Each structure stands twice: as structure tokens, then as C-alpha cells.
Chains A and B, each alone.
Chain A
Amino acid sequence: DGGITQSPKYLFRKEGQNVTLSCEQNLNHDAMYWYRQDPGQGLRLIYYSQIVNDFQKGDIAEGYSVSREKKESFPLTVTSAQKNPTAFYLCASSFRSTEAFFGQGTRLTVV
């Protein structure tokens, strides 16, 4: 089945540690995105990538990093510089800028 797979579903991180969230898609979509959802805040864009080896900062990129070495993969690293990393992270992909399809999300908790 075609779709977007995020892993893991739940992730716990100690303060000061970097952690990487995985996102893979087999939809042959050009664009991929990372959003963060906090209660009452809707979805806020962290990073997005239109093509391989290229990506742009979204509205809240500080403390995060990404790579796009393959069309199918867009991993997100939450670094120790991110002051409030506990959130629900959503990856999405789209063909150009038409409707984006989302993964099931990763719940990151800092302990």
C-alpha cells in the first residue's frame, strides 16, 4: 500500500539528547514536510523540502535539523537546542503543492 510511515509512534528523550524521527513515503511525492502540533496551536511548519538535497526552514525551525538524501525519506532531528521538544510531530508529503498526505505522527516526550 502507498503511504507515509512515521516511526516510532512514541519516543522518549532525556534532556540534552538529540533524537531523530523517521519519515518514509512511497507515493513518489516530490515535497515532504514536518509539522509540530501543540495543544491549541494547530499545526506549525518546521521544515519542508521540495526536491532531493534541498530543504527550507518553516516557521519554527530553531532547534531542528533535517536531511533529504533520498526522495522517499525526510528524517527530522530534534536537537538539544530545542527548548520545548515535547509535542506531536507530523510528517507529510505532496505532489507539488497540492493536498498533502500525513503520516500517523510521533509523540515525543522529554523525560
Chain B
Amino acid sequence: DQQVKQNSPSLSVQEGRISILNCDYTNSMFDYFLWYKKYPAEGPTFLISISSIKDKNEDGRFTVFLNKSAKHLSLHIVPSQPGDSAVYFCAASGENSGGSNYKLTFGKGTLLTVNP
């Protein structure tokens, strides 16, 4: 049973426009969410995270929004650049749940293509 879902396998946008990548989760114990970017044959690199006590976190061109009631988060990239073309993974953990849950659960990823 997938606890973190990225329902769009791919997304294509024009350079300069906004990219919106979506992620849904089912486990209500998740309270820390992360986005990673991955190029082929390389390890993922951390982009941005958000704790469940917030609904928005911004870092330069990247903004993550969290809607806890809908168990939904999204990553906005604006403006999109050709170098942003990669697979983006959403991940979740229960860091602040009081337990010792160190596990990061990943979605299947969304391939973003930014066209010049």
C-alpha cells in the first residue's frame, strides 16, 4: 500500500513558467515532508522540506505548500529553468511524532521536463 503518492509520472512546462508537482499521503503520522531532485544514475539531492506545523516554506525559486487536512503537498518552481529537468521525489517521515521513526517513505517520482 503506497503511503506517499505522486500521481503524475511526468510533467512538461515551458521555460519561465511555473512548475507544480503534487504529492499525496495517507499516513496521518507523517509530520515532516521533503522534496528531492534526482538526475539519472546519480543520488537524489535534497531540495526543500516542511514540518507539519507550517503550511508553506520558501527557498528561492522553490516553495512547498502543505495542506494537512487534505494530506496533500505541492512543490512550486518559479520560474522554471531547463536545468530543473529531473525526477522529483516527495518523501515523508514521522520525525516529530514522538517515536523514533527514522524512515523516509518516498513516492515514485515525477519526471519534470522544462522546455527552452
Are B106 and A105 closer than 8 Å at their CB atoms?
Answer: no
Given the known interface contacts A41-B108, A42-B89, the answer about A50 and B100 at a Cβ–Cβ threshold of 8 Å is yes
A30 to B44, CA, bound (A): 19
Given the known interface contacts A42-B109, A45-B104, the answer about A102 and B45 at a Cβ–Cβ threshold of 8 Å is yes
A60 to chain B, nearest CB (A): 12
Residue in contact with B102 in the complex, picked from A41, A43, A94, A105, CB distance below 8 Å = A94
Are B46 and A100 closer than 8 Å at their CB atoms?
Answer: yes
Q: Nearest CB to that of A33 among chain B residues?
A: B104
Instruction: Judge whether A99 is part of the interface by a CB distance below 8 angstroms.
Output: yes
Instruction: Judge whether B59 is part of the interface by a CB distance below 8 angstroms.
Output: no
Collect the chain A residues with CB atoms within 8 Å of residue B108's CB: 40-42
Say which size band chain B's interface belongs to.
Answer: 20 to 34
Among residues 59 to 109 in chain A, which have CB atoms less than 8 Å away from a CB atom of chain B? Answer: 88, 90, 92, 94, 96-105, 107
A101 to B104, CA, bound (A): 12
Instruction: Judge whether A21 is part of the interface by a CB distance below 8 angstroms.
Output: no
* Interface SS of chain A: strand
A37 to chain B, nearest CB (A): 9
Are A97 and B34 closer than 8 Å at their CB atoms?
Answer: no
- Contacts A42-B108, A97-B32, A99-B49 given; 14 further ones with Cβ under 8 A? A33-B104, A42-B89, A43-B44, A43-B89, A43-B91, A45-B104, A48-B102, A50-B102, A94-B102, A96-B102, A98-B32, A98-B95, A99-B46, A100-B46
